[in-house]
Chain A
Amino acid sequence: MTDRSDEGASADGNGAPVDFDRLDLLAERLSTDDRFTQVEATPDFAPDRVACVYDPGFYPRSVREARLEIVWFENGDFTVHYHEDHAEGTFDHRWDRHPSDHNTRDHVHPGPDAPTPGTNVSHPSDWRDVLSTVLTAIEERQRGFWTE
């Protein structure tokens, strides 16, 4: 049986499975919010993420769609990806915690092209703090669309 000692071993550098329980909880919290028109946890059986589509009302016409995709793993690793589609081009920003050869475990890949290597940062240890930091940063960007 897969038990916690196996997970401990996986956390040691062999990756860890997606934390389905955390994703469900996260989707449950976000799904009631006015920011999003759609929040789907593991949309089909296979996908391993929570996909949130921002209400287009927070964007001018130049932004066709904006979405946030969230994946969390049982060892606390995560990748949170914000994406905008524009008439010409895209904007991406990623908050990551996972092994990489270009950055520390905690890092971000800032827009416009979310380049590699990204910037080393230190994310909060609590997933809720990570997520509230992310949502706040996105809201700041959204507000930026409406200033001259």
Chain B
Amino acid sequence: MDEPRSDLKADADERAESPDFESLTPPRELVRGERTRDDFFDAVLGLDSPATISDIADRAGHGTDAAREYLEWFERMGIATQVTESPATYERNQEYLRWRRIQRLRTQYTTDELLEYLSAETERDEEYADRFDVDSPDAVSITAHASEVDRTVEDVWEDVTAWQTTRRRIALLERAITTGSGGSSEERTAV
């Protein structure tokens, strides 16, 4: 990154009270959690396909014995799912993460608020469908659309990801709202 322009730099007076950068937590430590558990949680959260125990141990920066232990625990907690037996592979349990998010929506907002959000998101969804003239963001080819309407790929990508996010929110909100009338054990299989 560029150096600050000289006219922006601290003057002599200000320099007398320079900030203490040395006391800051180094970035490498900051972005990692403090515990071994955090390393494994991060490794599992970062998986986009099933991974072996030794692969997950590598990603977490710990040994395979610890990996096996944490993966078994995560599986019991619903964070990870074992996909194959031999070799044992695991993936992140997306369904659990969704379920946890839905629970959080239900504790943070009232049903009326959730309904309001849902109607705003649904409106947004319709606007995107009109603008792209297809019924789902998955039906948009970003590069083809960009050249068609003479916009940059970057701009179109931004809109399409925002649309994908809107879709994701609608799904979460709908489940949070329908969960309200049912029992808390139902939402894992709801929708």
A interface vs B, CB < 8 Å? 1-4, 6-7, 9-11, 13-18, 20-22, 25-26, 29-30, 33-35, 45-46, 48, 57-58, 60-63, 73, 75-77, 82, 86, 91, 93, 98-102, 110-112, 116, 126-129, 131-133, 135-148
Contact = CB atoms under 8 A, between A and B. Distances in A.
Nearest to B140: A14
5 contacts: A48-B162, A58-B21, A129-B31, A142-B21, A146-B15
A34 B24 contact: yes
A63 B23 CA distance: 22
Interface residues of B, number: 59
A137 B1 CA distance: 6
B165 A18 contact: yes
Interface string B42-55: 10011010000000
Contacts, number: 169
Contacts of A75: 48
Nearest to A130: B31
B131 interface: no
B8 A60 contact: yes
A16 B27 contact: no
Interface string B114-156: 0001001000000000000000011111110010000011100
B183 interface: no
A15 B55 CA distance: 27
A145 to B, nearest CB: 5
B37 interface: no
B153 A101 contact: yes
Nearest to B166: A17
Given A6-B138, A144-B3, A58 B19 contact: yes
Contacts of A126: 46, 59
A57 B19 contact: yes
Contacts of A86: 8
B24 A101 contact: no
A144 B161 contact: no
